[in-house]
Amino acid sequence: MNQANYRLPKRKDGQKTFEQIIDTAKKLFSKNGYQATSINEIIQKAGIATGTFYLYFDDKFALYSYVLAKYRKSIRRAISEGIAHATTRYEKERLGLRSFLKFAWQDPLAYRIIWESMFADKALFREYYETFSHDYVRQLDHAVKDGEVRNDVDLETLSYILMGISNFVGLQVLFRDTLSDEDLDRITDQVMKVLTSGMFTQKLE
């Protein structure tokens, strides 16, 4: 994101107001969508003056882009912390998936806001997932060289397969009324079983 479009607060009282704007925007973008949410509504719900909004953001798109970028960083951080002690690609995939599912459960607004970017700005949506894919490919390439991942699969396609699994199993989690650590382990293990052994009962000729 172009940082010229937003300005971070320099004082503690400003930080509180800034976070209030972000929290309000998340709720409204999630509830109404990007197009149906107005700056005036954000200002009113956040309880701030009009000038205060423009002190930090040039426009609604700058605010939305900032929120999306923050989610990307938060998801990356959650996954990085989750796989910190993993030593194999298998462990990283398992713990990374589990961390993502837990993040999705704890912050259900994330899904709506991230996918809303497809309608807010297609280039922003594309950049969001391409950035994840490029980083994934780099990690998978190391795993191929280490002999952990097969070398006859296109890694870009594989990265999108893995992201697709995470995203839609994430929906499975969000559709639940409750989610325990045991549930997380069971769902994650089911995914890893398919990744390890496949879904077919016999090899196809």
Give domain limits for the chain.
3-62, 65-196
Residue 4 pLDDT > 70, yes or no?
no
Percent of the chain with pLDDT over 90: 89
- Residue 201: pLDDT band with limits 50, 70, 90: confident
CA 20 → CA 14, 44, 52, 106, 134, distances in Å?
10, 12, 11, 19, 33
User: Taking the domain 3-62, which CATH number applies?
Assistant: 1.10.10.60
Position 3 confidence tier, pLDDT thresholds 50, 70, 90: low
What percent of the chain lies above the pLDDT cut of 70? 97
* 3-state DSSP assignment of residue 57: strand
Please identify which residue in the block is written with the tokens 């990265």. Answer: 159
Q: Can you give the pTM of this predicted structure?
A: 0.89
Cα 170–chain centre separation: 11
- pLDDT band at 96, cuts 50/70/90? very high
For residues 40 and 49, give the distance between their C-alpha atoms in angstroms, rounded to a whole number.
Answer: 10
**Residues 16, 122: Cα–Cα separation, whole Å:** 31
The pLDDT confidence band at residue 12, using thresholds 50, 70 and 90, is confident
User: Which tens digits make up the pLDDT trace of 184-198?
Assistant: 999 999 999 999 999
Neighbour-count burial of 157, counting CB atoms closer than 10 A to its CB (0-12 exposed, 13-18 middle, 19+ buried): exposed
**Residue 205 pLDDT greater than 90, yes or no:** no
Domains 3-62 and 65-196 share a fold: no
C-alpha–C-alpha distance, residues 65 and 121, integer Å:
10
CATH of 65-196, one of 3.40.50.720, 2.20.25.90, 1.10.357.10, 3.30.565.10: 1.10.357.10
Structure tokens at 104: 């999705």
What rounded mean pLDDT belongs to the chain?
A: 94
